[in-house]
Structure 1
Amino acid sequence: CPSFVTTPMFSVAMRKELWSGKQPICIKACREPKISDLVRRRVLPMQIQSRETPLHQLYSAAFSKQKLQGAPTKKPALPFGDLPTGYQHLHTQLQYECISPFYRRLGSSRRTCLRTGKWSGRAPSCIPICGKIENVTAPKTQGVRWPWQVAVYRRTSGVHDGSLHKGDWFLVCSGALVNERTVVVAAHCVTDLGKVTVIKTADLKVVLGKFYRDDDRDEKTIQSLRISAIILYPNYDPILLDADIAILKLLDKARISTRVQPICLAATRDLSTSFQESRITVAGWNVLADVRSPGFKNDTLRSGVVSVVDSLLCEEQHEDYGVPVSVTDNMFCASRDPTTPSDICTAETGGIAAMSFPGRGSPEPRWHLVGLVSWSYDRTCSHSLSTAFTKVLPFKDWIERNMK
């Protein structure tokens, strides 16, 4: 019969038409649902659930206590008989939780074995908590180890200067980790300059958990991961740098820890306030740093606050410098906020831009990815010219489709 399990008893024909062993019986049961390695399961002590209906009140008022015992929701008897491994008795409850504090549960926290042989609720899974970092609020962001910051490296194909040789890796950009297998990055970082030709995955790699610019300083915390695919946004314009965004799919999952965690993606409702009045935190490494410089060994991930600049003003600024530019709806301009401490020159970083505000279902502040450094003509790290960023919000649905 469906939803029943036969107890493991075997019978053998014997003389005098008798059978050995005990008569097998069928017990209603549920097969234990499969769970991932990130989910911890606990079988709760057997406790038959009871329900009260309006009829209970009616019977209580109209009949004696003895008659009430015949009510239609009388508690069933406790289960009997042993079950094969991998099965649970009717009305058994399973409780689920994530094995790591860096993850949160999706699906039901508790499931019950039903008479149908199925489990109540939804299958649980655990996903990394995004955008959470302790004791960090803008504008005090200098010296912060942003756990979602990703260093994107490219392999040299020839001699670039005296410090780089063929086959060496050099830092080209920062990206943002959005789940265990997905990194969001500016498209120009993973394509040939001025083209939509994607660089070979074998010539790119990402490093997570990094803080120092010098690779040797972070040996114990970094994760160096290979890339399985590069997904370029279909409408990327390599000339105007419109829709300057791409996704890197990782060959192996990132190991989530205190140093490696994903950032959240902002939704439209999260940015309902005037974006023009926003102050945004930008983080990145100085990709133009000279490895022969005396301070290179101590150079770290840099952070600073920028203020959004009106798009028309941004275009006029560049026009005054003889550089006509077009700021599209997929971009925003920003310049360093002079009122806050900063050790970053946004034009040199190829960095990421983030904002902190309460996340979905949580009153605690969460950091959300809002932009990627795209282009700039500022060569002196002044306030006279703004840096242009790719807006991440218009591409949220596309990113989420490719996160699966």
Structure 2
Amino acid sequence: MFWLAFTILLSAARPGEAQWLFGGGGSTGLSSSGQNDANCGVPSVGLNARIIGGQYGSQGMFPWQVSLQNLAQGGSHGCGGSLFNNQWVITAGHCVEGMTNPGLWRVRVGLASLQYYENGEQEFSVSKIIMHPSYHASSAGFPRNDVALMKLSSPATVSNYVNNICLPDRDASVGTSNCLVSGWGVYDIQSQYWGQAPLSATLKWTYAPILDPGYCSQNYIWGSEMVSSIMVCAGYDHGQDDACNGDSGGPFICPSPDGTRWELQGIVSWGEQPCGAQYKPSAYTRVTAFKSWIQQTIQSN
């Protein structure tokens, strides 16, 4: 059984790693085109590359992270997403499947807490939702072409807390260990077994190293469902450090080749249920496979 629409669980220490401190965001405005702008992928708060037992994020650490909130469900957090430019959010197709009416959604950006309003966060209604035209479920029920775009009703304003993510020119290599996933999803492994799995009130993040698709396609892991050029498989054999329900649609990011900024390598798509199981890494939509569609759709809408 797998989850859709998934919190960051526990994370192990990674001693001896260097720090990335991608400096302050500056004052460059966000681009409204389908192209990266000069300031993308740069947080105002540096990320320390060593975490123990999971890590809570703060405002400005993931300025592209958004919360998609379903107004039909009382405005509760439904999925994550990534701000690509001043008016477009990249998320998972399954997050909006059957709910493509823009009036059903609210988007919050520039926040770390779902529970409290924070100075500097911005809130938007949605004017348009576009699912990938080839989105569908596989024969086993796994989403394919799992990507969608949301257009905000008005442009976001760049700040220390709000910035866009870069789209990559090429895939990050198998074995890259300093990629991260962030979100407000389910954060406690045991609560899933009790049937009471709360979302995290504060943004969390953890590592998710990129795994070889051939490894992930072995029968005791995910089988042939992972043999696909449109997916990224990432996580740990030991489980626990992972994404979960409520993180879907959110960013899977890796450092750029020159190490100066973050790039959106994946979109949280699906994983094991309950989350955090051994030998069940999570699956992410491979952004490079859909980069042209993303750019062309934004430019034409």
Query: In structure 2, what is the Cα distance between the partners aligned to 1:190 and 1:358?
Result: 32
Query: In structure 2, what is the Cα distance between the partners aligned to 1:383 and 1:297?
Result: 21
> Which among 77, 85, 93 is matched to residue 179 of structure 1?
85
Following superposition, the deviation at residue 389 of structure 1 comes to 0.6
Q: Secondary structure at the match of 1:235?
A: coil
Query: In structure 2, what is the Cα distance between the partners aligned to 1:105 and 1:232?
Result: 23
Q: Which letter does structure 2 place at the counterpart of 1:136?
A: L
Q: Which letter does structure 2 place at the counterpart of 1:132?
A: V
Residue in structure 2 matched with residue 347 of structure 1 by the alignment: 244
Following superposition, the deviation at residue 320 of structure 1 comes to 3.1
Q: Which letter does structure 1 place at the counterpart of 2:298?
A: M
Residue in structure 2 matched with residue 320 of structure 1 by the alignment: 220
Query: In structure 2, what is the Cα distance between the partners aligned to 1:295 and 1:238?
Result: 25
> Cα 1:344–1:202, aligned 2, differ >3 Å: closer, same or farther?
farther
1:350-379 alpha-carbon deviations (Å, 9 max, x no partner): 2320011256xxxx6101101011111241
Residue in structure 1 matched with residue 107 of structure 2 by the alignment: 206
1:266-319 alpha-carbon deviations (Å, 9 max, x no partner): 102xx4x6x2111211111115889xxx99798311100012222232232xx4
1:265 matches 2:167 = yes
The count of corresponding residues between Structure 1 and Structure 2 is 253
Following superposition, the deviation at residue 343 of structure 1 comes to 8.4
Following superposition, the deviation at residue 238 of structure 1 comes to 2.9
Query: In structure 2, what is the Cα distance between the partners aligned to 1:369 and 1:143?
Result: 20
Q: TM-score, normalised by structure 2?
A: 0.73
Query: In structure 2, what is the Cα distance between the partners aligned to 1:238 and 1:206?
Result: 26
Query: In structure 2, what is the Cα distance between the partners aligned to 1:344 and 1:243?
Result: 25
Following superposition, the deviation at residue 129 of structure 1 comes to 1.6
> Which among 164, 174, 177 is matched to residue 276 of structure 1?
174
Instruction: State whether residues 56 and 203 of structure 2, in contact with CA within 8 Å, keep that contact through their aligned partners in structure 1.
Output: yes
Following superposition, the deviation at residue 381 of structure 1 comes to 1.0
Instruction: State whether residues 305 and 337 of structure 1, in contact with CA within 8 Å, keep that contact through their aligned partners in structure 2.
Output: no
Residue in structure 2 matched with residue 220 of structure 1 by the alignment: 119
Instruction: State whether residues 186 and 200 of structure 2, in contact with CA within 8 Å, keep that contact through their aligned partners in structure 1.
Output: no
> Which among 204, 227, 231 is matched to residue 130 of structure 2?
231
Query: In structure 2, what is the Cα distance between the partners aligned to 1:355 and 1:288?
Result: 22
Residue in structure 1 matched with residue 47 of structure 2 by the alignment: 136
1:158-192 alpha-carbon deviations (Å, 9 max, x no partner): xxxxxxxxx51121111000100010001000113
Following superposition, the deviation at residue 344 of structure 1 comes to 5.4
> Which among 91, 101, 111 is matched to residue 26 of structure 2?
101
Q: Which letter does structure 1 place at the counterpart of 2:39?
A: I
Following superposition, the deviation at residue 323 of structure 1 comes to 7.7
Structure 2 residue runs of 5 or longer lacking an equivalent are: 1-24, 32-36
Q: Secondary structure at the match of 2:292?
A: helix
Query: In structure 1, what is the Cα distance between the partners aligned to 2:151 and 2:30?
Result: 23
Query: In structure 2, what is the Cα distance between the partners aligned to 1:378 and 1:218?
Result: 31
Structure 1 residue runs of 5 or longer lacking an equivalent are: 1-99, 107-126, 157-166, 193-197
Following superposition, the deviation at residue 105 of structure 1 comes to 11
> Cα 1:276–1:324, aligned 2, differ >3 Å: closer, same or farther?
closer
Q: Which letter does structure 2 place at the counterpart of 1:204?
A: W
Query: In structure 2, what is the Cα distance between the partners aligned to 1:190 and 1:402?
Result: 17
Instruction: State whether residues 231 and 247 of structure 1, in contact with CA within 8 Å, keep that contact through their aligned partners in structure 2.
Output: yes
Following superposition, the deviation at residue 263 of structure 1 comes to 0.8
1:184-234 alpha-carbon deviations (Å, 9 max, x no partner): 001000113xxxxx52111112110121232xx134332121111111112
Q: Which has the higher contact order (CA 8 A, sep 6+)?
A: 2
Query: In structure 2, what is the Cα distance between the partners aligned to 1:378 and 1:314?
Result: 17
Residue in structure 2 matched with residue 374 of structure 1 by the alignment: 269
Following superposition, the deviation at residue 128 of structure 1 comes to 6.8
Q: Which letter does structure 2 place at the counterpart of 1:306?
A: A
Q: Which letter does structure 2 place at the counterpart of 1:129?
A: N
Instruction: State whether residues 308 and 334 of structure 1, in contact with CA within 8 Å, keep that contact through their aligned partners in structure 2.
Output: yes
Q: Which letter does structure 1 place at the counterpart of 2:91?
A: V
State the identity as a percent. Answer: 26
Root-mean-square deviation (CA, aligned residues, Å) is 3.3
